[in-house]
Each structure stands twice: as C-alpha cells, then as structure tokens.
Structure 1
Amino acid sequence: MKIVFHPEFYRVYTADPAAEEGRMEAIISELKDYEIVEPEKAEKEDILLVHTERHYEWVRNETGVYDVAILAAGGAILASEIAFEEPAFAAVRPPGHHASPDSSWGFCYFNNIAIAVRKLTIREKIERAAVVDFDLHFGDGTANTFRDDERVSYFHMKGGDVNGIAEFLESAEYDIVAASAGFDRAKEDWGGILDREDYTEIGKILKEYPEDRCDGRRFAVLEGGYNHAVLGKNVRAFLRGFE
C-alpha cells in the first residue's frame, strides 16, 4: 500500500475549506507508517483527456491554482499506475469530482480521478473501470465525464448505505476500481452520518470485490472531509480496510 503525496499539497492555495491550513497535516500525521511517493505534475495532454481547451486555459490563467491542480491530477495518475502492483491512496488537493469537462465548482478544478481512469482506458491498460464515490456530495463532474462512456461505470453512495457499494461492485464489470474518497459524510463532519468503523467497512468492500474480479487492482483519491479533528483518523480507518 502506497500513499501518493507531495509537500506542495500543504500549501493554502485559496480560501475554500479544501485548501484550509491543517487539513493535509491532519491526514499525513496519521499515515506515517505507510510508504509515501511523490507525484509529477500531469501534462496538458492528460488534462485534455477529460477537459476542454477552454476549461484548461481558464484554470491555468484565471484561478491561481494551476500548479497545484496539475500536481493533484498527476497524483491520481500515479496512484492508478501503482494499482497494477498494489493498492494506492492519492492524498491530493484540490479535490476533483465536481469538475466536468467544461466547468467546475465545489472547490474542484480538474477531475483527478476521471483523468486517471480515462488515461488507463486510452492507453488500453484496462477495458472497463468502476468508480465508487463515497463523498457526501454527488460527483456530478465524474458522472458528466463518463455519461456516454460505456467503459466506465459510476456509483455514488446514498446516505449511510455501505452495502450499496457491494451491490454495485457485484453487478458492474471492471478491470480496476477507483474510489472518490470523501470523508465529509462522517458523524463529526458536514454529513453527520458515518462512524469510523463504517469507513473501514467501505475499505474492506473496495478490497474484497477487486480481489475476486480484477486481481485486486484498486486505488483511491481524496475528495472532501473538513473536520481536521477526525479527518486523519477517518482516512486511516478507511485505509485499514482498503490495504
């Protein structure tokens, strides 16, 4: 199990909650016993696998977050590559699942997980992928990206229905499982729904089904989660089941 992380993700790049000081520190402080690998920045051609030229230029020229955003996309790509050898978790920011091909909102700029999955399919490293999103908020950007792409199935967890993930993975076809790992559904966070043990159970489900179907290929990419007092512990709980 590897953690994909770069010290640049400590930087406060905007005033939104995803960029708040202490957020990544809360996570990484809980993951010191894992091997950490640093990503490279994604290339423009990687971003354009999902996003339009217009959106790319907007992020590059208008937002002030371009350098960290392409590094986050690169982190997701690296995690997807590691997944062919062992599971990986990309502790990156900005998050991505609200970034559609030509627009973005919700603290997102480029859709990290969508870029990583699309690159695997374009390179023909996989034929099909399953994306499981357990963030509190529906990943409209990911759903929009893959709406007409039969190679990728997207599932967003409803409420506290952890078993819904298992049902989806039982019925879907995939060569890799990619998880949009949001932790804002926690009882002490915005959602007020999930216990720490629920995150461990989600991790176990995301481990069990790929082991039976695609040689265990799986990776996860950080999305939401904003209560620093519990965020790192919830990430750790998830990885306890996922690794």
Structure 2
Amino acid sequence: MKVIYHDDFCQCYTTDPAAASGRMEAVVEAISGRVDFLKAEPAEESDISAVHTESHIALVEREGLYDIAALAAGGAIMAAEIGMNEPCFALIRPPGHHASAGSAWGFCYFNNMAIALEKLKREGKIVKAFLLDFDLHFGDGTVNILERKEYVTIYNPSSCDRNEYLRDIEKKLSSASFDIIAVSAGFDNHREDWGGLLTTEDYKTIGHMVWKICQKKRCGCFAVLEGGYNHRVLGTNVLAFLEGIEGL
C-alpha cells in the first residue's frame, strides 16, 4: 500500500496535542516495511481557495502555519488521486475535519478531506462519494463545507456501544452508491485513547468493511489521518486499519 508522508510532519508546529512530538514517528515505526512511502507535496493555492475563504487563508498565513497546512492538504489530494485505483493512506498533519470554509478549531487549519474531494469532483474524476469519519469528535468542518453538496454522503458514527457502532458503519456503507470511499481516520476513540470505546482489532474490521464494499461496488478508497493522541497505541491502530483496507 502507498502511504503519503513527509518528514516535515514531525515538526512541532504548535503546542497542541496534534502536533506533539512522537505522534507521527510512532506511526512511521509501526508501518515501516509494510507500506511504500511517497513524499507529500503541498496543495496548490487554487485548490485551497476552492474550499476556504480568502480571509481564513490569510489568517493561517499570519499564524505561520500555511506551509505545513498546505503540505497536509496536498498529501490528502495525492492519496485521493491514487485512491481512485488502489487503497491509499495520507499520514499527514495538521488534521482537518474541524476546519470550515471560513474558520477552524480543534487543531485544524485547512480541511484536507474537503480539499481532496472537491478537487476530484471539480476535475470530473468522481460523481458520488461516501465519506466515513470515525474520529471520536464530530467532523463539523467537513459537514459545514460538504453537506449541502449533493455528491457527498457523510457519516459520523456515534454509538457508545462498540458492537452497534460497527454494525452501523457496515449498514451505512452498504446503503449507497458511489465512486470512492473517503475516510477521515481518527484513532482517538480507542480504549486507551480519549474515547475509550474501540479495540485495535475494530480498526482492522472497519478497514475490512471498506475493502469489501470497494470490491463489491468496484469503487476507489483513500483515508487521511485525523485524531489519535496516545502514541503508545496509535501506530498499531493505524497499521490495523491499513491491513483492513488492503483486504488482509
């Protein structure tokens, strides 16, 4: 599997938990030797401005975060484009699903997922998309940007019962027709992370659900990293998910 990554993502670009030292390194260590790393390239300004307002982009620039945020968005675009033909994962940061068109919070600056999907749609590469966001926190920014666009079906699972949570995902994935499955992959709902609900094996199960639907519907898939803050388990959780979307 191809994984989009850049050493600059190891920078401590702010003091928030998403930028904490060791987060990306833990994932790289866990998946090295199992994946092919491709170097992320920054998104074009035109791709960012197709989603975000001029004032918001200017704010990110003033905060000195434009370069790292654009690099993350570019990594998401690369994963989306590769994902049209084979599963691909964007190991990127800052995360993005709390970034709306004109504002952002929750350690996010640009909405990586929205930028990637909008580029695919704008270039005529997809007609319909299904977006699964299994981060612990509701992806409000992604919903704010994409909910009114008829080509995207967005699902944020929310059950507090893990078995019901998994059943709900499987049901939703089976209920729609689409050209690509996009996954905002946040691992902070793990039993040893903030949410305390899912097991490492559950992430493999979710990934395998995506793989099965892709096989059935002959569609593409890609995922981008969102949350996940316990470095001790983050790498193994990401690896489990990658094994799932590979069909292992």
TM-score by length of 1: 0.97
Match of 1:219 among 217, 222, 230: 222
Equivalents in 1 of 2:28, 2:10: separation in Å? 10
Q: Deviation above 4 Å: which 4+ runs of structure 1?
A: none
Structure 1, unaligned stretches of length 5 or more? none
Equivalents in 1 of 2:231, 2:86: separation in Å? 28
What percent of counterpart residues are identical?
Answer: 52
AA of the residue aligned to 1:166: E
Match of 2:141 in 1: 141
Match of 1:239 in 2: 242
Equivalents in 2 of 1:212, 1:144: separation in Å? 30
Cα distance per residue 1:98-140 (max 9 Å; x no partner): 0011110000000001100011001110101110000000000
Cα distance per residue 1:192-217 (max 9 Å; x no partner): 0001110010000111112211x241
AA of the residue aligned to 1:237: A
Structure 1 residue 170 displacement after superposition: 1.3
Q: Once structures 1 and 2 are overlaid, which stretch shifts more, 155-164 or 101-110? A: 155-164
Aligned residues of 2:138 and 2:156 also touching (Cα < 8 A): yes
Where does 1:52-201 land on structure 2 (aligned, <5 Å)?
Answer: 52-61=53-62, 63-159=63-159, 160=162, 161-201=165-205
Q: Once structures 1 and 2 are overlaid, which stretch shifts more, 170-179 or 128-137? A: 170-179
Structure 1 residue 169 displacement after superposition: 1.4
Aligned residues of 2:90 and 2:223 also touching (Cα < 8 A): yes
Aligned residues of 1:133 and 1:180 also touching (Cα < 8 A): yes
Equivalents in 2 of 1:210, 1:48: separation in Å? 31
Aligned residues of 1:114 and 1:142 also touching (Cα < 8 A): yes
Structure 1 residue 158 displacement after superposition: 1.4
Equivalents in 1 of 2:81, 2:32: separation in Å? 22
2:68 alignment partner, SS class: helix
Where does 1:35-46 land on structure 2 (aligned, <5 Å)?
Answer: 35-46=36-47
Structure 1 residue 84 displacement after superposition: 2.0
Structure 1 residue 148 displacement after superposition: 1.0
Match of 2:211 in 1: 207
Q: What is the RMSD of the two structures over their aligned residues, measured on CA atoms?
A: 0.9
2:131 alignment partner, SS class: strand
AA of the residue aligned to 1:125: K
In the alignment of these two chains, the number of paired residues is 241
Aligned residues of 1:207 and 1:216 also touching (Cα < 8 A): no
2:31 alignment partner, SS class: coil
2:30 alignment partner, SS class: coil
Structure 1 residue 39 displacement after superposition: 1.6
1:132 alignment partner, SS class: strand
AA of the residue aligned to 1:49: A
AA of the residue aligned to 2:85: E
Aligned residues of 2:128 and 2:152 also touching (Cα < 8 A): yes
Equivalents in 1 of 2:82, 2:55: separation in Å? 31
Equivalents in 1 of 2:114, 2:9: separation in Å? 19
Equivalents in 1 of 2:136, 2:83: separation in Å? 25
